[in-house]
Amino acid sequence: MNDTTVSRKTFDEVMVPVFAPAPFVPDRGEGSRVWDTEGRDYIDFAGGIAVTALGHAHPALLRVLHEQAARLWHIGNGYTNAPVLRLAKQLAALTFADRAFFANSGAEANEAALKLARRVAFDRHGAQKAEIVSFTQSFHGRTFFTVSVGGQPKYSEGFGPRPEGIVHLPYNDIAAARRAIGAQTCAVIVEPVQGEGGVIPADPAFLRALREACDAHGALLIFDEVQTGVGRTGHFYAYQDTGVTPDILTTAKALGNGFPIGAMLTTEAIAAHFSVGVHGTTYGGNPLGAAIASKVVELVSDPALLAGVRERGERIRAKLAQLNARFDVIGEVRGKGLLIGAQLNARHAGRAKDFHTAAANRGVMMLIAGPDVLRFAPSLIIPEADLDEGFARLAQAFEDVCGRAPGASR
Ligand code: PLP
């Protein structure tokens, strides 16, 4: 039912203004379609920022949500629960990891990973081995530690002294990484595909070089798979297609398909450095989130679903090529599976937001990654018909921005 007591305008009156949401208010979703409070429908190419991997209102997830909610939805970490144990076993079976720590978001999973890495180095080598190596343009969350480790200074400036012992290197620069990683390095944290930073895949040779340098200097390699994980790249985790295995992996976003849950996965030997009371959370590992994530993992780890992700990714690339043949706005298409970034060409530099707004006006929800990149992160099971309809609408949006004449810019 449409609640007429609130509207988009209410946001500006009662919310802390850290976001600038679209002018419409989404109200209902099913699969890859969303309806706003006015009843207009949208094709969802954004997936709640790479989160709703199985679309909206997935029947199996709804069933689990209802059943678990009626059974037990929170108990606190003074007790364990069957759903979280099942989920940990599933993730261990699917990955290099033996152990899991559950949190509620990507930032918290990374916070745990960074604290664990610092603790491992402290225990094994002493306080001097504390340096964390990260990469420019990376994004790891908004807690003060994770935002300081992230490589976008605009997000960590203006909050007083930052945590110490963090260095930022250029992404995909093997020589710089070899020079910088040394005896002082505690951990290297890297996204296998930089998401927020512009959808930039890591060169496999770069990841191999990071692995070698970490091994040579007793540092831990952390893969932040918050955006790339849970099927997004066409593999359950992106690392599984790189030939490089991290020591710690963080995952969130699609793990709960929108129910807030994150996890840090690691080996038994590394996990042993976190003893009782060293780290914790009230909600992390609650039975409701864990039950939902367990079903998500079961469904997404199906090889047929993962093959479908790769196929849909190719279809989007073909559709983008067709659009570009008409409008000539895209320079390069990057990414993997269903995490795709289309870099605007020089003539359209800085106009990603214009395309984003025009798309919404034509009934397509999509994402941008900085001022120059259109980003696509739809449901991993988006029906072909919705994909085609979304691109037909996008063609109208491109025409709105570029005008009718092929290649024309405003
Ligand atoms: N790490 C990566 C790679 C991300 O893309 C994000 C969110 O966009 C985060 C961490 C932070 O996750 P959350 O917003 O759930 O804290």
- 139 class by beta-carbon count within 10 Å (0-12 exposed, 13-18 middle, 19+ buried): buried
Tell me, what DSSP letter sits at residue 184?
T
pLDDT tens profile 178-217? 999 999 999 999 999 999 999 999 999 999 999 999 999 9
Q: What is the per-residue pLDDT for 407?
A: 46
CA separation for the pair 214, 229 (Å, rounded): 22
Tokens coding 5: 């007591």
Structure tokens at 137: 């343009």
Q: What is the mean pLDDT of the segment spanning 385-389? A: 98
pTM to 2 decimal places: 0.97
Closest C-alpha to 263, from 273, 253, 276, 272: 253
Per-residue pLDDT band at 4 (split at 50, 70, 90): confident
Task: Please give the DSSP secondary-structure letter assigned to residue 131.
Answer: E
Helix 287-300 with 303-327: angle, nearest 10 deg = 80
Centre of ligand 1 from the C-alpha of residue 398, in Å: 29
Report yes or no: 294 and 87 within 8 Å, Cβ to Cβ. Answer: yes
| Rounded Cα distance, 358 and 377, in Å | 18
The per-residue pLDDT for range 235-274, each reduced to its tens digit, is: 999 999 999 999 999 999 999 999 999 999 999 999 999 9
Q: From the CB of 111, is ligand 1 less than 6 Å away?
A: no
Q: Would you state the pLDDT for residue 2? A: 74
Give the residue extent of every domain in the chain: 8-58+303-402, 72-300
Tell me how far the alpha carbon of residue 106 lies from the centroid of ligand 1, in angstroms.
5
Q: What is the mean pLDDT of the chain?
A: 97
Question: Residue 406: is its pLDDT beyond 70?
Answer: no
Q: Note the CATH number of domain 8-58+303-402.
A: 3.90.1150.10
Tokens for 205, please give them.
């040779």
> What pLDDT is stored for residue 404 in this prediction?
73
Of the candidates 241, 385, 231, 396, the one whose C-alpha atom is nearest the C-alpha of residue 315 is 385
Distance of CA 205 to the CA centre of its chain: 22
Predicted confidence at residue 3, as pLDDT, reads 83
Percent of the chain with pLDDT over 70: 98
Nearest-CA residue for atom 11 of ligand 1: 141
| Average pLDDT of span 215-225 | 98
- 4 bridge partner residues: none
Q: Is 338 exposed, middle or buried (0-12, 13-18, 19+ CB in 10 A)?
A: buried
Q: Over the Cα atoms of the chain, what is R_g?
A: 21
Q: Is the shortest distance between the CB of 228 and ligand 1 below 6 Å?
A: no
Q: What is the pLDDT of residues 29-79, one digit of tens each?
A: 999 999 999 999 999 999 999 999 999 999 999 999 999 999 999 999 999
Atom of ligand 1 nearest to the CA of 110: 10
Q: How many A from CA of 250 to the centre of ligand 1? A: 10
Phi and psi torsions of 399, nearest 5°: -65, -40
CA distance 45 to 356: 11
User: Is residue 90 scored above 50 in pLDDT?
Assistant: yes
**Catalytic positions:** 139, 224, 253
Distance CA 380, CA 338 (A): 7
Indicate whether residue 227 lines ligand 1 (CB < 6 A).
yes
Ligand 1 center from residue 288 Cα (angstroms)? 21
Task: Answer yes or no: is the C-beta of 224 below 6 A from any ligand 1 atom.
Answer: yes
pLDDT at 274: 98
* CATH 3.40.50.300 for the 72-300 domain, yes or no: no
Which backbone phi and psi does 333 adopt, to 5 degrees? -110, 125
Task: Find out whether the beta carbon of 339 lies less than 6 Å from any atom of ligand 1.
Answer: no
Is a pLDDT exceeding 60 seen at residue 325? yes
Determine the atom of ligand 1 nearest the C-alpha atom of 194: 3
Query: Whose CA is closest to atom 10 on ligand 1?
Result: 140
**The two structure tokens encoding residue 72:** 């037990």
